[in-house]
Amino acid sequence: MDKFYITTAIDYVNGAPHIGHAYEKILTDIIARHYSQRTDNMFFLTGTDEHGIKIQKTAASKGITPKQLCDENAQKFKDAWKALDIKYNRFIRTTDEDHEKIVQKIFQKLKDKGAIYKHEYEGWYCSGCECFLNPKDLTEDGLCPDHQKKPDIVREENYFFKLSAYKDAIIKHIKENPDFIVPSFRANEVLNQLEDIQDISVSRSKENVGWGIDILDDPNQSIYVWIDALSNYITAIGYDPDGSSEQFKSLWPVDVHVIGKDILKFHSIYWIGILMALELPLPKHIFAHGWITIDETKMSKSLGNVVSPTSVLENFELEYPDAFRYYMATSAPCGRDGNYSDEDFKEKVNAHLANSMGNLLNRTLSMLVKYFDGEVKDEFFVTKNPELVEGSLSLIKESIGKIKVVENHFNHFEIAEAAQEIISIVDAANKYVTDNAPWTLAKEEKMTECGQVLTTVLEVMCVISSLIYPYCPNIATEMAKQLSYDITKKLDEITTDEIKPGKLITKEEIKPVFLRVDSELADKSAKK
């Protein structure tokens, strides 16, 4: 691969991050880390959306400026992502000076070419959605279906983007590129929405929305959310209508936008129309993930079940976020909704990370020290004695073969499915140990056979450490350290002889890579 460019949605900074925000960032970080194992030119963008009426009103209610509110809350998102080991290349804020200047240029370019026009409009405006709604989109009671509030009637003279002019081209692109929207079943939703798509408001009167980016030749209007927020994907890497950077030229088009299913319309219709108007290549994929419920209940401030991602780390006393990352990434199949619960979290991470994977490495290394003083001998390798212990060669081949299987799942953004394949290798290795009982071989003084069983497992553990690294970077790094294995290897460089002959480890160097999670969330009783 020559490059891989991946983005998340930018989070609105009207409040603090919750587990739903974390789910998207964890998925994206895992995809980014996986692709960093396949290319040297990987770029991961995330950030915050900081303009609009909600920010303006919240800041006023707190007696601070909108910028002060944005600074305060943007830092909360940065702190949360640091705690979760989210390794982005840039954190863009839509109040960044470089972003604001290019957004003004983008707006002017679209206006100059006739893709944007001024028009007086009256319609139902939902401040929660930050958009005008069609009457048919409302509930029977006239409420916004997402926010369960009655929209306001707003009459303004605003600028509109000629989205309807790109309707046919967008439909054609979706139909001709079945992997454009992931999962594919979401494409029909978008095609249905396109049937009666209308031009969209891309500015607001300064009188009504003062907190926004000024239009260059019309200071009485603020550039509205769509051109401002969506353009971050190109402004962050150096797009400029007057001449883009080399970075932009090397990274665009984006390989995948990772977003929530609730904002798919804006990315697969609005954003695509804007890009077509700018005559820029379109994204290769838009991956719409599902939502995370808490104990099978949708998160709600009124229910008091909004969970902070960092509180999970603190209350379970997790030294690293790996267990939480793994659990969230495996909570739902591609594009489907997932669920978080304390009990399921403990059960899954204990079973997969502690009992199966961690214990396999620990007991294998312990037996190597017990029977061979931590030394791996030449005759232990399957390449030297392929017929010595039945199943040794096939297990190693199976583990190497899983690399392509996992890569294929990532090509389709099937993150939970890829993890299942990795754990299947862990299970196969555990079964291999049970079937061949190295402790019995040692007792029978079949030391070469015993050594081959242990060495075969350690070879497989090298593959597992690389494959699990995107999910559990700290655990994988510790595994690799105890295996004297180079975790920075590209996936296509991994071979069947990663373990080297000679002294591998001492008893003092062996330590559990993941301890069982047995504590309860401290505030669980309060929630009840």
Catalytic residue numbers, as ranges? 18, 21, 126, 129, 144, 147, 298, 301
What tokens were used for 317? 């006393």
Cα(428)–Cα(110) distance, integer angstroms: 57
The token duo for 280 is: 């820029």
The backbone region for 153, taken as left when phi is positive above 0, alpha when psi lies in -120 to 50, beta otherwise, is: beta
E strand map for 319-363? 338-340
Which runs of consecutive H residues, i.e. helices, occur in 84-164?
Answer: 97-112
- The one-letter code for the residue type at 16 is A
Q: List alpha helices for 84-148, DSSP H.
A: 97-112
Element (H, E) at 397: helix 392-411
Contact between 323 and 293 (Cβ < 8 Å): no
Q: Are 376 and 501 in contact (CB under 8 A)?
A: yes
In angstroms, the Cα distances linking 73 to 13, 64, 87 are 6, 13, 19
DSSP characters for 224-255? Answer: PHHHHHHTHHHHTTT--TT---HHHHHHPSPS
Closest CA to 478 of 513, 452, 524: 513
State residue 168 phi and psi, 5-degree precision: -65, -40
Helices 359-372 and 415-436: angle between axes, nearest 10 degrees: 30
Residue owning tokens 């291999």: 432
Q: Cβ atoms within 10 A of the Cβ of 255, count?
A: 20
Q: How far is CA 199 from CA 72, 117, 192, 349, in A?
A: 35, 10, 16, 48
Neighbours of 41 (CB within 10 A): 14
d(CA 368, CA 365): 5
**Angstrom distances, CA of residue 187 to CA of 191, 239, 267:** 6, 28, 12
Quick check: 403 and 489 in contact, CB under 8 A?
A: no
Amino acid (one-letter) located at 3: K
| Local structure of residue 183 (DSSP, 8 states) | S
